[in-house]
Amino acid sequence: MKLHRHLHLRPLLEAVALTRDSEFDCAACSRHVAELADSLKSPSTPLSRELDLTRHHLAICQQCHDDFQMLQRAVAGIRE
Amino acid sequence: MLPSLVQDDLPWLQSLRATGDAQASAVRTLRALLVRALASALRHRAEVDASQVEDFAQDALLHILRRLDDFEGRSKFTTWAIAIAIDTAMSQLRRRHWQNISLDALMAQGAELAPLLHSTAEPPDTEDQRRLLSLLRDSISRHLTDRQRAAIAGQLQGLSVEELASALRTTPGGLYKLIHDARRALKKHLLASGITASQIRTAFAP
Ligand SMILES: [Zn+2]
């Protein structure tokens, strides 16, 4: 596998800009995604510290972000 | 809509922990819910057919039944169960796409990271962009370790967390810490050069 000749800078810069000293890793994020998915259905409710850290992780980590979008789609899917 | 599939949490847990017909019925209902949920979640993936969705649902069902005691009631039971099902399915799908990258290949990629940022998909147009890119390259070269550069290169290539962690002979948690420490170092040095977090974020934004 060869490194692509065109690297997209934006995801790296976005992640660097959003970096905090204390963050959730993927495992911590996965423990809270279900709660976040339910919480975001009523957006006026303020997020707890854990859910804020979960949402922050989703902004940094593409893989968890993609899985979270699938979770939201799936939860909506069982109600169709 | 199947109203019986979206019931309160207590009946779910009671029924799944019951014995006999009550449990068998709850398991069948949960399995049907997982199939429907996974079919919705995976409908954009052409390589996943209906029989694979059934297999993923079955695997997920076994995980969920083993982990019932982990459910803390912070979300709906169904949302919690579907999250486990997505994790089960995506772990298997990602494993299928593993490229078995060697540590040497990844380290070689890391060594190319800073130079390659010269020829990015977003070539710098303005003086601010050129300065940020130059500082970023300099920070990557001077302040990151070889392993951090390799991890970021792999991440920018779109390697999965599990595949990248395996190539670097660490755990997903270890990989996250490696990249987190790298991001912190880059941010610290960019801020120390007088660039704000907002500028870092928006300099190359469309
Ligand atoms: Zn993650």
Neighbours of B181 (CB within 10 A): 15
Mean pLDDT across A48-67: 97
Report how far ligand 1's centroid is from the alpha carbon of B82 (Å).
17
Same domain, B113 and B95: no
User: Is A10 in contact with B83 (Cβ distance < 8 A)?
Assistant: no
For the segment B78-104, the average pLDDT, to the nearest whole number, is: 93
Q: Tell me, yes or no, whether A3 lies in a domain.
A: no
Q: Is residue A37 part of a domain?
A: yes
A:B CB pairs within 8 Å? 147
A9 belongs to a structural domain: no
Mean pLDDT value across chain B: 89
Domain with B47, as residue range(s), is 9-99
Residue B2, domain member (yes or no): no
Co-location of B110 and B196 in the same domain:
yes
Q: With the C-alpha atoms ordered B81, B82, B83, B88, is the resulting torsion angle positive or negative?
A: positive
Nearest to B76 among A5, A38, A73 (CB): A38
Q: How far is the CA of B135 from the centre of ligand 1 (A)?
A: 27
Residues with CB under 5 A from ligand 1 (ion): A 26, 61, 64
Please report the pLDDT score of residue B129 as a whole number.
Answer: 86
Tell whether B65 and B116 lie within a shared domain: no
- The answer to whether A33 and B79 are in contact (CB under 8 A) is no
Nearest to A1 among B1, B74, B101 (CB): B101
- What are the φ and ψ backbone dihedral angles of A51, each rounded to 5 degrees? -75, -30
Q: Is B176 helix (H, G, I), strand (E, B) or coil?
A: helix
pTM of the model: 0.90
Q: What is the model's pLDDT at position B47?
A: 87
Query: How many domains does chain A divide into?
Result: 1
Q: How many domains does chain B have?
A: 2
Q: Closest by alpha carbon to B65, among B129, B18, B122? A: B18
**Looking at the complex, does the CB of residue A38 fall below 8 Å from at least one CB of chain B?**
yes
Residue B46: is its pLDDT beyond 60? yes
Classify residue A61: in a domain, yes or no: yes
Query: What is the average pLDDT score of chain A?
Result: 90
Least confident of A73-77, B24-28, B96-100: B96-100
What is the three-class DSSP state of B125? coil
Tell me phi and psi for residue B153, to 5 degrees: -60, -45
| Domain assignment present for A32 | yes
Q: Domain of B66: which CATH number?
A: 1.10.1740.10
Residue B3 located in a structural domain = no
Q: Which of B54-58, B117-121, B137-141, B168-172 has the lowest mean pLDDT?
A: B117-121
Residue range(s) defining the domain that contains residue A55: 23-79
Q: Which of residues 95-154 of B touch A (CB under 8 A)?
A: 99, 101, 105, 109, 112-113, 116-117, 119-122, 132-133, 136, 152-153
Banded model confidence at residue B166, pLDDT cuts 50, 70, 90: very high
Q: Which of A63-77, B7-21, B116-130 has the lowest mean pLDDT?
A: B116-130
Asked, for residue A5, whether it belongs to a domain, the answer is: no
Q: Which residues of A33-60 are buried (b: 16+ CB within 10 A; e: fewer)?
A: bbbbbbbeeeeeeeeeebbebbbbbbeb
- Judge whether B139 lies within some domain: yes
Q: Which among B37, B76, B158 has the least Cβ separation from residue A74?
A: B37
Using CA atoms, how far apart are residues B149 and B155, in angstroms rounded to an integer?
10
DSSP state of B170: S
Q: What is the CATH number of the domain that holds B195?
A: 1.10.10.10
Tell me, yes or no, whether B125 and B187 share the same domain: yes
